């Protein structure tokens, strides 16, 4: 009898002790981890987004710190998402300014609830931007999820986005030529990093004025990687049936066939240069002549040798700046050429921007340059500088 009793006694004592020890180890580890308020990027981040599923984000090989913020921290920082703290409204939800108790200022993108697209882009942005570090890319500090709430937390940039300045008649006078050239060059450096110098080749797919944020010194930072695609260093292009992006910035091969590559980003960048120089939007442009877009108008003036008419009237230029403006327009037109193979790479663009002695090639006609104010049955063709005479239908964003 003593044998069974002894075994029962051991089981009665040892098993509870083991359970207590295991609970202690688990609780100690959990408490230590969450007291820090962040997770190392070397760990795999698992965020509960829905009750029955987990979002697994493989974030490794980085020395940065990615923070998983509590919902209560974000509420306090943004003053319960007050109207006074709202910075703007994006396609996937509002953006709020916030400030943590230690003084750190943040921008919180609050994705709209029950948005399948928002959920997909949330995952994509965390996966991609956590791997990227460059002075011309916006810094993602962390994220926050609770139930249907999904939020991305960025560094706060006080001067908002480029479109806030460049398309406003009064505010764009604050951007002299040197500032505009700095924004063009900085954005080019950021795209070059994405295309060539980051660990993986990244195609942004939504380069536009509203996605270029400006810091306190007006340095540009590329933002919004929700639509970005990541490739190995050997891949150069991809194809999709779901064309997403912004009308006016989409390369023709992407808008019509779903083909995207580093050259489609170059096209968007070329459009952006023209918008920065003119202070006018490409999409819906119809203020000069009968052109519906800025590309056609720019091409016409370039062919006529009257390109200086493109330059924003608020810019006062000396002869040196005029030369820089002409080179930038030339680079922009090279970047928006209809055939992707004719466009330069971002390496080429950066080299052309940094050297005033480099001889630039003459551009061929841009995409969409035939689109004019005309009857639907007969779009008039622009007077070409070259022998090319291709009719292009106006693409519709899908």
Q: What is the pLDDT of residue 163?
A: 95
Point out the least confidently predicted range of 24-28, 124-128, 300-304.
Answer: 24-28
**Interval 200-228 mean pLDDT:** 92
Spot the catalytic one: 206, 224, 265, 312.
206
Cα gap 395→379, rounded to integer Å? 14
For 53-78, write each residue's pLDDT tens digit.
Answer: 334 444 444 445 678 899 999 999 99
pLDDT, residue 283, reads 80
**168: which residues sit within 8 A by CB, 6+ positions away?**
none
Asked which of 149-158, 239-248, 348-357 is least confident by mean pLDDT, the reply is 239-248
pLDDT score, position 213: 96
Question: What is the pLDDT at residue 340?
Answer: 96
Whole-number average pLDDT of the chain: 79
Residues in the chain: 398
Task: Return the pLDDT at 393.
Answer: 34
Most confident of 83-92, 212-221, 247-256, 291-300: 212-221
Nearest to 282 by CA among 367, 190, 381, 186: 367
What is the predicted pLDDT for the residue at 11? 65
DSSP letter at 344 equals P
- Tell me whether residue 14 is exposed, middle or buried, using C-beta atoms within 10 angstroms of its C-beta: 0 to 12, 13 to 18, 19 or more: exposed
Mean pLDDT of 333-356: 96
Report how far apart, in Å, the C-alpha atoms of 303 and of each of 228, 365, 383 are.
Answer: 35, 10, 9
pLDDT of residue 18: 74
Task: Pick the range with the lowest mean pLDDT from 13-22, 86-95, 262-271.
Answer: 13-22
Whole-number percent of the chain with pLDDT over 70: 71
Secondary structure of residue 222 in the 3-state scheme: strand
Report the distance separating Cα 296 and Cα 396, nearest Å. Answer: 17
How far apart are the two ends of the chain, measured CA to CA in Å? Answer: 81
What pLDDT is stored for residue 375 in this prediction? 39
Looking at residue 3, what is its pLDDT? 60
206 is catalytic: yes
Which pLDDT belongs to residue 37? Answer: 45
Residue 301 has pLDDT above 50, yes or no: yes
Among 8-12, 204-208, 393-397, the least confident range: 393-397
pLDDT digits (tens, 9 = 90+) for 135-181: 999 998 989 988 888 899 999 999 999 999 999 999 999 999 999 99
Please report where in the chains the tokens 């820090």 appear, as a residue. Answer: 36
Model pLDDT, residue 46: 41
pLDDT at 93 over 50: yes
Q: For the whole model, what pTM was predicted? A: 0.77
């Amino acid at each position: 009898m003593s044998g069974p009793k002894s075994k029962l006694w051991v089981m009665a004592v040892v098993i509870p002790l083991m359970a207590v020890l295991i609970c202690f180890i688990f609780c100690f580890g959990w408490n230590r981890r969450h007291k820090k308020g962040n997770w190392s990027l070397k760990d795999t981040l698992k965020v509960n987004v829905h009750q029955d599923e987990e979002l697994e984000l493989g974030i490794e090989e980085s020395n940065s710190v990615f923070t998983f913020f509590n919902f209560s921290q974000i509420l306090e920082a943004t003053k319960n998402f007050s109207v006074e703290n709202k910075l703007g409204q994006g396609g996937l939800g509002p953006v709020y300014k916030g400030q943590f108790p230690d003084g750190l200022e943040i921008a919180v993108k609050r994705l709209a609830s029950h948005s399948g697209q928002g959920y997909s882009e949330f995952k994509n942005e965390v996966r991609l931007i956590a791997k990227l570090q460059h002075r011309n890319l916006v810094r993602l500090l962390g994220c926050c999820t609770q139930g249907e709430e999904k939020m991305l937390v960025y560094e706060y940039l006080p001067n908002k986005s480029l479109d806030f300045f460049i398309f406003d008649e009064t505010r764009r006078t604050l951007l002299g030529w040197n500032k505009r050239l700095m924004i063009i060059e900085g954005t080019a450096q950021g795209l070059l990093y994405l295309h060539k110098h980051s660990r993986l080749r990244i195609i942004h797919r939504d380069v536009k004025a509203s996605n270029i944020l400006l810091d306190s010194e007006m340095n540009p930072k590329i933002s919004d990687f929700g639509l970005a695609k990541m490739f190995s260093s050997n891949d150069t292009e991809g194809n999709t049936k779901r064309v997403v992006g912004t009308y006016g910035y989409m390369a023709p091969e992407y808008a019509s066939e779903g083909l995207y590559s580093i050259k489609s980003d170059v096209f968007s960048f070329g459009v952006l240069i023209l918008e920065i120089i003119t202070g006018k939007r490409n999409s819906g442009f119809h203020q000069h002549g009968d052109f519906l877009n800025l590309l056609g108008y720019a091409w016409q003036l370039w062919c006529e040798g009257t390109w200086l008419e493109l330059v924003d009237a608020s810019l006062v230029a000396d002869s040196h700046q005029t030369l820089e403006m002409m080179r930038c327009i030339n680079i922009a037109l090279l970047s928006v050429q209809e055939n992707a193979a004719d466009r330069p790479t971002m390496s080429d663009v950066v080299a052309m921007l940094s050297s005033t002695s480099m001889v630039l090639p003459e551009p061929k006609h841009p995409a969409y340059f035939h689109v004019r104010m005309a009857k639907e049955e007969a779009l008039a063709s622009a007077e070409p500088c070259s022998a090319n005479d291709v009719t292009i239908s106006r693409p519709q964003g899908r």
